[in-house]
Amino acid sequence: MFYCSGEDLQKTRGLGGVLIHPSGIFGEDYLTARSLDQQCADRIHLDGIGFPVILGSRTSPPDRYEVLARSEREKYWVASEGKAVETNIDPISASFLELSLYREVIARELRGNSGDGGELDQNNREPLVDAQARFLGSLMERCGCTASSEPKWPGGHRFAVCLTHDIDQITARTALNWYQFDMKRRGGRRVMASIPSMLPRFVRALLRFRSPFWTFDKIRSIEKGKGVRSSFFFIPFRDGSSEHDYGIAESKKVQGEARDLSRGGWEVGLHTVGDARIDGEARAMSSLGLTTHSVRYHRLKFRAPESWERIEEAGLLSDCSVGYNGRAGFRAGTCFPFMLFDPVAGREVPVMEVPLSLMDSSFYWYQEVSPEKLFGTFRELLDVVEDHGGVLVILWHNNFFDDTLYREWADIYSRIIDMVKKRGAFIGTVSEVSDWWRNRMANNALELVGGGSEEMGRENGRGGFHASPRH
């Protein structure tokens, strides 16, 4: 595969293989809003399969080549001659754009913090990067290369699901506040009607000195019963915010729970409240004897790319925060784990992202729809992830297992696990998924030779990338 322009392109043409014309995103406008003018929302159909076109160049196909397909808006093409295939669609820059959260980085420079960046993507239910990889695969197939279709997950499983829980609020006092809030929000009707069943449960919970939000036993019993394990993210310190009502470093009871979970095969991760604290929080977790490898930002309030460096400094190996607060979907355009990349410093950060795609509160708070509706979205996403062979990361907060306030949500969670098991997915914690993927990458890495530099170009007698499997 070759990725080059100008003179190198002329030299490479005719050598066979796939030749991609690079977009100009890495040119002088790199990291400015102007570079985004090159984006397009086009589509091209090749052998009956539609692929999204995100970036490309404005070049024309070579004269003697046969044009195999043109994009819907006609600007982009795939052409071939014999076993040589050429295109002005650039799936490599496009994947970089998505995986580095490039648009969010630029939007924040322009307008301050962009929140969760969700408003920047229209097409978030289709993993755009994975579609670019497929496009590339189909071009390579035309040149006689076949992509491996081997299962990518432990035990020969064809796709994976990762179950996670953020533990924000656990006390009876907070639960009662939410009950009151819920009553007001719904005009009292639903809760009034459910008082006869709700009140005894609430009192029973208090008599056992258990808050209705203390749902660890319930989660454990659901998951243990189904033979699966998940990741629990704990807040290290109380900081006066009403968004979390405990700190694991300050509560022996929560520490005991976390240790039990850890002994039982569940993962204990760090739920950080922000970049400024993450280092101290990670240290606090290890001083409690809780080995923590994974992190999730509370309310997904990370900042790309600054947060990547903070995670690295704190010695954590994987992050699970790249998802949307308000909706389901693929914020980084992929359903695969990937190494985080800092587009400003131009370097890969040694932290594996296991991107989040579906969470309870997006439906309950942001969209205010029923858990049944979430189940429909879950099935849609599961189909996509199974089709690509990736991983679907699901977040269920501990309070959503309180069936007084969040009726049916625990049942939907159980049904999700049942369906995932029936469909034959590998189910693992964030650490398991991240470690497996790290090893897999180390063993299957593609070596990029050439890189388009003058020196390497001379060495190979040609410019551009040449990909070959490392043995």
* 20 versus 235: smaller Cβ distance to Zn ion: 235
Whether residue 332 contacts residue 310, with contact meaning beta carbons closer than 8 Å, is answered with no
Number of residues that bind Zn ion (CB under 5 A): 3
Which of positions 168-187 make contact with Zn ion (CB under 5 A)?
168
User: Which segments within 139-275 are labelled E, that is strand?
Assistant: 160-167, 231-234, 267-272
CB of 166 to Zn ion, least distance (A): 4
Instruction: Tell me the one-letter amino acid at 21.
Output: H
Cα separation of 79 and 60, whole Å? 10
- Segment contacting Zn ion (CB under 5 A): 20-28, 159-167, 245-253, 361-369? 159-167
**Does residue 165 interact with Zn ion by CB under 5 A?**
no
Whether residue 338 contacts residue 372, with contact meaning beta carbons closer than 8 Å, is answered with no
Cα separation of 426 and 395, whole Å? 17
CB of 357 to Zn ion, least distance (A): 17
Cα separation of 395 and 380, whole Å? 16
Distance of CA 134 to the CA centre of its chain: 18
- Segment contacting Zn ion (CB under 5 A): 61-69, 294-302, 313-321, 350-358? 294-302
* 218 versus 299: smaller Cβ distance to Zn ion: 299
**Does residue 116 interact with Zn ion by CB under 5 A?**
no
* 99 versus 395: smaller Cβ distance to Zn ion: 395
**Does residue 432 interact with Zn ion by CB under 5 A?**
no
Reduced to 3 states (helix: H, G, I; strand: E, B; else coil), residue 18 is: strand
* 166 versus 281: smaller Cβ distance to Zn ion: 166
- Segment contacting Zn ion (CB under 5 A): 140-148, 179-187, 293-301, 335-343? 293-301
The two tokens of residue 95 are 């994947």
**Does residue 360 interact with Zn ion by CB under 5 A?**
no
* 223 versus 360: smaller Cβ distance to Zn ion: 360
Cα separation of 87 and 139, whole Å? 9
Cα separation of 164 and 394, whole Å? 6
Cα separation of 73 and 105, whole Å? 28
CB of 246 to Zn ion, least distance (A): 12
Kind plus residue range of the DSSP H or E element containing 132: helix 128-142
CB of 286 to Zn ion, least distance (A): 21
**Does residue 281 interact with Zn ion by CB under 5 A?**
no
Among 90, 130, 166, 245, binds Zn ion (CB under 5 A): 166
Distance of CA 56 to the CA centre of its chain: 25
Residue nearest to Zn ion (CB): 298
Among 134, 152, 293, 298, binds Zn ion (CB under 5 A): 298
Q: Which residues bind Zn ion (CB under 5 A)?
A: 166, 168, 298
